[in-house]
Amino acid sequence: MNEAMIKITDLRKSYGNLDVLKGIDLTIAEREVVVIIGPSGSGKSTFIKCIAGLVKPTTGSIQHDETIWVDRDKKIWVPAQERQVGYMPQGNIVFPHLSVEHNITYSKRGTPEMCDSLLKRLGLEKYRKTKAGSLSGGEQQRVALGRALYSKPTILLLDEPLSALDWNLRKHVREDLVSIIREWDVPCVWVTHDESEVEAVGDRHWTCENGLITISE
């Protein structure tokens, strides 16, 4: 396996008396695609939000290469915008009233050439000036992935990226997303509750249940 790029140690998150994450110790390697499967409420979305910097863990640490993103004991906290994470949330994944081009370049981190390259690879060139909200579900997923990649991410975090799609569309869009992620050479955590996605997507598969993550090699 490649050298660890993200190291997570004793990650816990509680809301009052509710323990959502119960002590997670994991590593994510460079260029690795990991699938986390688990039922709703198991803690998988909270886990990737902690990596993204959208949720502060109660205890534990997250380290990217030599940079500590969070360490509650040492009172270290790097905010989300400084972690440069590409995050695709569930639900409304595009800014519907903005054009496809403006959706992709929203982070302002990339270059015009990078935008052109993404539009071409994602098959969205002809929709450059089209409002993203008028596109199909599969096309909107490509726009969201383009926006995440344009941000020059250290890691991609995809939360149920296919859940809003028609069942017949899922296989085609899944294959396309995985192909693009591999080409971009960026590590990825793909969260799902759909067992059919597990074997088709990741290098490693983790199971999240009741706030704990177990590894299936």
Q: What is the CATH number of the domain that holds 13?
A: 3.40.50.300
Question: How much of the chain exceeds pLDDT 90, in percent?
Answer: 60
The tokens of 152 are what?
């020059």
pLDDT given for residue 68 in this prediction: 97
Number of H helices, E strands in the chain: 7, 11
Residue 145 in 3-state DSSP?
A: helix
- Indicate whether 128 and 146 sit together in one domain: yes
pLDDT given for residue 46 in this prediction: 95
pLDDT given for residue 7 in this prediction: 95
- Indicate whether 169 and 71 sit together in one domain: yes
Q: What is the mean pLDDT of the chain?
A: 90
- Indicate whether 1 and 75 sit together in one domain: yes
Count how many Cα atoms sit within 13 Å of the Cα of residue 165 in the half-sphere of its side chain.
Answer: 21
Residues 29-55: tens digit of each pLDDT: 988 999 999 998 899 999 999 999 999
Question: How much of the chain exceeds pLDDT 70, in percent?
Answer: 97
pLDDT at 3 over 90: no
- Indicate whether 61 and 92 sit together in one domain: no
- Indicate whether 162 and 142 sit together in one domain: no
Q: How many domains does the chain have?
A: 2
Residues 76-103: tens digit of each pLDDT: 999 998 998 999 888 768 999 999 999 9
- For residue 12, give Cα distances in angstroms to 107, 137, 141, 146, 209: 30, 34, 31, 31, 14
The CA distance from 170 to 144, in Å, is 15
- Indicate whether 159 and 144 sit together in one domain: no
The tokens of 29 are what?
């390697």
Residue 38 domain boundaries: 1-79+155-178+186-217
Q: Which residue has the higher pLDDT, 61 or 171?
A: 61
Residue ranges of alpha helices (H) inside 53-90 are 80-83
pLDDT given for residue 1 in this prediction: 42
Q: Which residue has the higher pLDDT, 175 or 20?
A: 20
